[in-house]
Each structure stands twice: as structure tokens, then as C-alpha cells.
Amino acid sequence: MFASTKKAAAAYQQVSLDVAIETADPHRLILMLFEGASTALATAKYAMENNDLATKGAAISKAIDIISNGLDASLDPEQGGELAERLSALYNYMTSRLFWANLKNDLAALKEVQGLLAELQDAWRQITPKAGG
């Protein structure tokens, strides 16, 4: 009975997430990507500190995926110009640092990326989307 309750809760969370994604504006979607990457990095940090290599690897992989296939892929170099190019370079740097952190169990590299991501997330939060788009 407990396992089916966990499955039901997980299904509810997934539906809730799906609805949030479908109804979110582009600004909110980017915030959700930042939140997901931040959560994955917090999980990776905890796992690294507790020598849980499997969880660490999975969490770092998830963060890399969100940064590369979410945040970086959402950039529009035509509209964003130099800013988009610089953000892309920063995202690439962050993913390379995460690969290093995973390979070498380097907590300092992981924390560096957490700090960079937190700064970007804070800056993004301060942006007010234009009405109607």
C-alpha cells in the first residue's frame, strides 16, 4: 500500500509540473529551469559530501542537461547578440566545471557552479517581463 501511495504522489507531482510548464510564460519557464538546475546541484552537493557516488553522478548529469539543453538552448543569438553569446560561453564553462566536479569529486568546482547559477537566477528574477509577450 505504501508503494502505491508513493506512485500516486509521484504521478500527482508530474501532472502538477506538466500543468505548470504548459501554463507558464517564457520568463517563468526560464526560472523553472534555474530552479531545477539549482535543486539538482544541491542534491549533488549533498551526495558528494556523503560519498553517494551514484546519486551525485545522476544529479550532476541532470544539472548539465538542464543547463545545456534548457538554458543554453533557449538563447537566441540573433535577438540576444553579444549577451546571448556570453551567456552561452558561461553555460559551456559551467557544464565543463560540472564534468570536472563529477570526475574528480571536486566540491569546490560544484560550489563554483552553484554560485554562478545563483547569480544568474537572481538576475533573471529581477527582470520584469513585458506585458503581452
Digit-coded pLDDT (tens) for 13-70: 554 545 455 556 888 899 999 999 999 999 999 999 999 999 999 999 999 999 999 9
- Looking at residue 47, its pLDDT comes to 98
- Cα–chain center distance at 80: 20
- Looking at residue 25, its pLDDT comes to 83
Give CA–CA dist 9/85, Å, rounded.
Answer: 41
In 84-119, which positions are buried (b, 16+ CB within 10 angstroms) versus exposed (e)? beebbebbeebbebbebbbeeeeeebbebbbeebee
Give CA–CA dist 16/23, Å, rounded.
Answer: 11
Digit-coded pLDDT (tens) for 63-89: 999 999 999 999 999 999 999 999 999
pTM value? Answer: 0.81
Confidence class for position 91, pLDDT limits 50, 70, 90: very high
Digit-coded pLDDT (tens) for 96-129: 999 999 999 999 999 999 999 999 999 999 987 7
- The cell numbers describing 32, all together, are 523553472
Q: Which is more confident, 133 or 31?
A: 31
- The cell numbers describing 76, all together, are 537566441
- Looking at residue 17, its pLDDT comes to 47
- The class of domain 26-126 in CATH terms is mainly alpha
